[in-house]
Amino acid sequence: MSENKVQTITGKAIAIHGNDIDTDRIIPARFLKALSFAELGQYPFNDERFDENGKPKDHPFNRASSEGAKLIFANSNFGCGSSREHAPQSLGRWGISGLVAVSFGEIFAGNCEMLGMPAAMATPEDIATLQETSDRNPLAEFTMDLNQMTVSCASESVSVPITIAEGRRMSLINGHWDSTGTLVANLDKAKSVYESLPYTSGYK
């Protein structure tokens, strides 16, 4: 599974400003009616990027300089609200590979992990530094490093520490984030738990 290892991500970054950016904003519910995630890369922040007639508005995701960006720098509680995996799917399929924020909605962060997208945290001050740097120089390349636990930008002489739950970090850097195989491998152990639970046998 070495091809699944997520250790460093290097690329341009997009600053998304504001607290409590919910998953309805990231991907409105009408896009959840697709039976596949395949097309979702067209739609992140759709209703903030386009007006009712489909005319583009000023939004970080619409700027030419954002093309090919791999990182998002956000404030607190990013991805709060709905459990829709469609939110990180749409960001990922657009091209985002990693996120750094003051904090994340918990289900969103779990969904990111399932997709091998690190959702790491930094202090409000360090997030402000990262956002200011990428706003000022949208073409600057940043590196998110899960071994060093930093996000840095050599050309701007910026480097800040990041945190991520150790279990999540381990699953990413070792390429074990696709947990289905691991869980299925323990089905025998799961069966003993199943058999030990009073409700599975009707409390007999």
Partner 1 sequence: MARNTLYNKVWDAHVVTQLPTGQFQLFIGLHLTHEVTTPQAFDMLKERNLDVAYRDRTVATVDHIIPTDNMARPYADPEAENMMAALEKNTRDFNVKFLNFDSGRQGIVHVIGPELGMVHPGMTVACGDSHTATHGAFGSIAFGIGTSQVGNVLASQCLSVDPLKVRRIEIDGELGPGVEPKDVTLYIIRQLGVQGGVGYAYEYAGKVFDDMTMEGRMTVCNMAIEGGARVGYCNPDQTTYDYLKGREYAPGDDVWDKAVEHWQSMASGPDAEYDDVVKFNGADIPPMVTWGVTPGQSVGVDEGLPDPSSFEGADSATAELAYKHMQFVPGQQMGSVNIDVAFIGSCTNGRLSDLRSAAEIARGKQVSDGVQAIVVPGSQQVKKQAEEEGLDKIFTEAGFEWRNAGCSMCLGMNTDKLVGDQISASTSNRNFVGRQGSPTGRTLLMSPAMVAAAAVTGKVTDVRDL
Binding site for partner 1 (CB under 8 A): 17-20, 22, 24-25, 28-30, 32-37, 47, 52, 75-77, 80-86, 88, 103-107, 110-111, 114-115, 124, 165-168, 170-171, 174, 176, 179-180, 182-184, 186-187, 189-190, 193-194, 196-200, 202-204
Which is closer to partner 1, CB of 77 or CB of 97?
77
Shortest CB 189 distance to partner 1, Å: 5
CB of 8 to partner 1, least distance (A): 19
Please write down the HEC assignment for all residues of 71-130. Answer: EEEECCCECECCCCCHHHHHHHHHCCCEEEECCECHHHHHHHHHCCCCEEECCHHHHHHH
Write down the least CB distance from residue 85 to partner 1, Å: 3
Q: How far is the CB of 139 from partner 1 (least distance, A)?
A: 26
Q: Which is nearer to partner 1, 95 or 175 (CB)?
A: 175
State the nearest-atom distance from the C-beta of 67 to partner 1, in Å: 24
Tokens 């657009």: give the residue: 94
The residue whose two tokens read 């399932």 is 114
Smallest separation (angstroms) from partner 1 to the CB of 60: 15
CA distances from 5 to 100, 150, 169, 170, 180 (A): 18, 17, 11, 10, 16
Nearer to partner 1, 12 or 112 (CB): 112
- Closer to partner 1 at the Cβ: 61 or 104? 104
Structure tokens at 173: 């850097």
Assign residue 188 a region (left: φ > 0; alpha: ψ between -120 and 50; beta: otherwise): alpha
Residue 136, Cα to own-chain centre: how many angstroms? Answer: 23
Closer residue to partner 1 (CB): 12 or 84: 84
Q: Which is nearer to partner 1, 18 or 161 (CB)?
A: 18
Strands (E), the chain: 8-16, 71-74, 98-101, 119-121, 141-145, 150-153, 158-161
